[in-house]
Amino acid sequence: MLMVSSATAHELQENRATLVLRDKTHISVTLYIAYSDALYQTLMPQRPFASFLLIYSAMKPEDLQKELLRAQTRFQSETRIYLSPGPGREVPLTNWVWPDVKQVQTMLQQRIMAAMVDPNGHAHDTPIEIRADANAPHEITAVMVKFPEEFQKVLVVSYHPNQVWADSKALSPEIKF
């Protein structure tokens, strides 16, 4: 029974994106990315991963911030949303929200500690949340997405939430799923 409950509580570790159509022209994008892997592939792919972890986890915060900005600029330029049909109608992504330098440095340090405790293990990061918005000039009915190569495969979940008001004195309208 304990194994069953722990299996259901285990969060998907793969890279994923959630696209939510907030209104007819606005999509909020939330990415959950294995960030240290993506940073490694962007900032130091020519060296072993362990070297990357040691160097970047020990950097001064201001130096790490410069490196993170370099990677984030690349990730932003390579993440695209296109109105369907065709990739000619790109919707720009704005309002990016990235993890702060302290959060990233802590994550890198934790990854080193996990490797020291279990050198043969396959430690994974908790996916880091990254947010952005896409605002189209007209109604969005379908989109296509493209992610940076460093994100590898990304599971995309999309939905348009339905909203109803529920009066405290009456039964709500029927809520369908």
Strand partners, 143: 83
Is 61 contained in some domain? yes
Is 164 contained in some domain? no
Is 172 contained in some domain? no
The C-alpha atoms of residue 15 and residue 11 are separated, in whole angstroms, by 11
Let me know: does 18 contact 29? Beta carbons within 8 Å.
Answer: yes
pTM of the predicted protein model: 0.82
Paired tokens of 88: 């000619």
Paired tokens of 29: 């994008």
Asked, as a colleague might, if the bond just before 85 is cis with ω within 30 of 0, I would say yes
For residue 116, the model assigns a pLDDT of 75
Per the structure, how many domains does the chain have? 1
Q: Which pLDDT tens digits describe the chain residue by residue (177 residues)?
A: 333 333 333 445 689 999 999 888 999 999 999 999 999 999 999 999 989 999 999 999 999 999 999 999 999 999 999 998 765 689 999 999 999 999 999 999 998 888 777 666 666 778 999 999 999 988 888 999 999 999 999 999 999 888 888 888 889 888 877
Residue 144 lies in domain:
12-159
